[in-house]
Structure 1
Amino acid sequence: MADVVRGTVEANGLEFGYLAAGPEDGPLALCLHGFPDSAHTWRHLLPELAGAGYRAVAPFMRGYAPTALPEDGAYQTGALTADAIALHEAFGGGPDAVVIGHDWGAFATYGAAAHAPGRWRKVVTLAVPPMNALMSSFFAYEQLKRSFYMFLFQTPMAEAAFNRDFVEGLWRDWSPGYEAQARAVDVGHVMDCLAAPENVGAAIGYYRAMFDPSRHVERFAAEQDAVGAKGERPVLYLHGADDGCLGADVVLPGGDVSAVLGQLPDGSRVESVPGAGHFLHVERPGDVNARILDWLAR
């Protein structure tokens, strides 16, 4: 199994920390994490991608240590999209690159694939459907209850509430079947990334920018628009059947994939992963990795 190494790289005006595996001359596989998470979330997938010949890279997203804090405080999805495109450039990616995103990383993936389709051959997203499909389900009563944290994050109490117990609770609720000892490892990685108050503010800032367009930076306007665009590169979308963050009951009601599939480019696929919650790629790595590698090999 390929070794995972650490490194840093400059992209989009920020120094990014990253984990990587695989041959440096292999096609780039860029893996983008979400909240509350870290690049370590891809520890099962990186060696598998490396074994398939990819140069698999998982950056720590902006504001998540050891990646730098942006001086302009930009945490909108357009900035995340610009980061993904800049990272493709920084790692010398070609048109045979693939991009894989979970949670907030999924938003960045949709945007990067739509804004710069010539950079990517295939696309994979997990746990967060395209923006239009998400908004059609967000206001269901059961989903609003699950999304309490988003509203908490709009208040001055957010930073005070954010601690290990809070993060542990989210992981427990969102992936109820995930074994406690393994969950503690992931939560530990999160707390390492968000140990400083300014990093906590960055993670919360993603949600504040989501609800408050006045926090958007104009130079990312085109990338921001791309996040909601349908794009043209085929997407494999995977959703955990037991997701406690964004429920399968509202995303794939009764197993119906049509609402999500209708918002994806032609040739895309939507699959539910049984026995998995929100962090499906660490809960059921064998199943999820096999689906991803099969998709990339097609």
Structure 2
Amino acid sequence: MNDSMQPLRRIQAGVLDVAYHESGPAGAAPVFLMHGFPYDIHSYEAVAPILAGAGCRVIVPYLRGYGPTRFLAAATPRSGEQAALGADLLALMDALQVPRAVLAGYDWGGRAACVVAALWPERCSGLVSFNSYNIQNIARAMEPDTPANEHRLWYQYYFHSERGRAGLQQDRRGITRLLWQLWSPTWAFDDATFERSAAAFDNPDFVAVVIQSYRHRFGLAAGDPAYAGIERRLAAQPAIGVPTISFDGADDGVRPPAAAAAHAHRFSGARSHRLVPGVGHNMPQEAPRVFADAVLELVAASTPDLSSRA
């Protein structure tokens, strides 16, 4: 079977040896597409060709703990905290010598994009964020939510226990496939689609990074001291001032849709919020054209001559 996300490139960036897919003209307007948990770069297998065909330079990296991306040193904490994800994206931009780009993502990848957009806005010409403002408010994480929302987060509470760690280690595919089904109940993905992404969960650091992420966000695990300064800045819940298009999926099984006003105070710049019918949690793979068009909308706004290069 032809895999449109192959071959991969590699580059050392920060604490990682990052594996990434790149397409489109090298000197074109850059776009970073960031995947979530438990997914991988194949979430963008339909989005990336649309953007490259429109004249963008498209970069789709494997996050820490996924696929062929590896830590450079055994001593580096296997942290999945939000500050680490944002720092990884910034380090990748530096390594690729990309001063400014449109950043787009969902779930963990959307969080990385939001972190960079909020803390280093000069590096972000536009933001596409699924589930709107995706920076965690760890100080309030232990406040109970509605019963329905608590039920949706069962997997996070499971990962807080050693039973959950053992369960993920024992059956990565079983747990992640269940999450795909629960989070995108209207998406009829097949076995081949799941397996293309599930191979990324065989990364030797996947379990450690996932468990740390879901414990840290509730204040149940210490963060990597290297990112303590970033976490302090994120604790202030900084506003995002770059041009933003945010989305919610009408059928999202983990993050229920919210009105634009719910997160409006977190955006100090121009922002358009849109609800996508028939879409669950993995929007780029479920509605690639809609996601790609939003990216192109921001690229066009920051790169007026894009159409002349398409």
Both structures adopt the same fold (TM-score exceeding 0.5): yes
Alignment of 1:99-138 (within 5 A): 99-127=103-131, 129-131=133-135
| Equivalent of 1:218 in 215, 225, 229 | 225
Rounded Cα–Cα distance in structure 2 between residues aligned with 1:241 and 1:17: 32
Aligned to 2:34: 32
Q: Match for 2:104: what amino acid?
A: I
| Displacement over 4 Å in runs of 4+ | 132-138
Give the 3 Å change call, closer, same or farther, for CA 230–148 of structure 1 in structure 2: same
Q: CA deviation at 1:172?
A: 0.7
Rounded Cα–Cα distance in structure 1 between residues aligned with 2:199 and 2:153: 24
| Equivalent of 2:197 in 167, 186, 190 | 190
Instruction: Report percent identity of matched pairs.
Output: 26
Rounded Cα–Cα distance in structure 2 between residues aligned with 1:202 and 1:133: 19
Q: Match for 1:179: what amino acid?
A: A
Rounded Cα–Cα distance in structure 2 between residues aligned with 1:157 and 1:128: 32
Rounded Cα–Cα distance in structure 2 between residues aligned with 1:273 and 1:61: 26
Alignment of 1:5-24 (within 5 A): 5-24=7-26
Number of residues of Structure 1 aligned to a counterpart in Structure 2: 287
Aligned to 1:242: 251
Rounded Cα–Cα distance in structure 2 between residues aligned with 1:91 and 1:54: 15
Rounded Cα–Cα distance in structure 2 between residues aligned with 1:125 and 1:145: 24
- Post-superposition Cα deviations, 1:74-128, rounded to whole Å, max 9, x if no partner, equal 3211111111111111111123x11112101111111111221111111111135
Q: CA deviation at 1:143?
A: 0.8
Give the 3 Å change call, closer, same or farther, for CA 73–20 of structure 1 in structure 2: same
Q: Match for 1:169: what amino acid?
A: L
- Post-superposition Cα deviations, 1:149-188, rounded to whole Å, max 9, x if no partner, equal 000011001233222222111111100111131xx34431
Aligned to 1:75: 80
| Equivalent of 1:151 in 149, 153, 157 | 157
Aligned to 1:52: 54
Report the 3-state secondary structure (helix = DSSP H, G, I; strand = E; otherwise coil) of the residue aligned with 1:215.
coil
| Equivalent of 1:92 in 88, 91, 97 | 97
Report the 3-state secondary structure (helix = DSSP H, G, I; strand = E; otherwise coil) of the residue aligned with 2:212.
helix
Give the 3 Å change call, closer, same or farther, for CA 128–236 of structure 1 in structure 2: closer
| Equivalent of 1:199 in 200, 206, 215 | 206
Aligned to 1:267: 270
Rounded Cα–Cα distance in structure 1 between residues aligned with 2:65 and 2:51: 26
Q: Match for 2:145: what amino acid?
A: F
Aligned to 2:239: 230
Give the 3 Å change call, closer, same or farther, for CA 189–172 of structure 1 in structure 2: same
Rounded Cα–Cα distance in structure 1 between residues aligned with 2:48 and 2:163: 37
Aligned to 2:68: 66
Range 44-53 or range 286-295, more displaced: 286-295
Rounded Cα–Cα distance in structure 2 between residues aligned with 1:140 and 1:169: 22
Q: Does 1:173 align with 2:176?
A: no
Q: Could you list the runs of 5+ residues in structure 2 that have no partner in the other structure?
A: 302-310
Rounded Cα–Cα distance in structure 2 between residues aligned with 1:73 and 1:174: 26
Rounded Cα–Cα distance in structure 1 between residues aligned with 2:153 and 2:82: 18
Report the 3-state secondary structure (helix = DSSP H, G, I; strand = E; otherwise coil) of the residue aligned with 1:74.
coil
Aligned to 1:291: 294
TM-score (norm 2): 0.85
Rounded Cα–Cα distance in structure 2 between residues aligned with 1:271 and 1:285: 15
RMSD of equivalent CA atoms: 2.3
Rounded Cα–Cα distance in structure 1 between residues aligned with 2:192 and 2:267: 34
TM-score (norm 1): 0.88
Rounded Cα–Cα distance in structure 2 between residues aligned with 1:224 and 1:54: 32
Give the 3 Å change call, closer, same or farther, for CA 216–43 of structure 1 in structure 2: same
Q: CA deviation at 1:265?
A: 2.5
Q: Is the 8 A contact 2:67 2:201 kept in 1?
A: yes
Give the 3 Å change call, closer, same or farther, for CA 282–100 of structure 1 in structure 2: same
Rounded Cα–Cα distance in structure 2 between residues aligned with 1:143 and 1:82: 29
Give the 3 Å change call, closer, same or farther, for CA 196–90 of structure 1 in structure 2: closer
Report the 3-state secondary structure (helix = DSSP H, G, I; strand = E; otherwise coil) of the residue aligned with 2:253.
coil
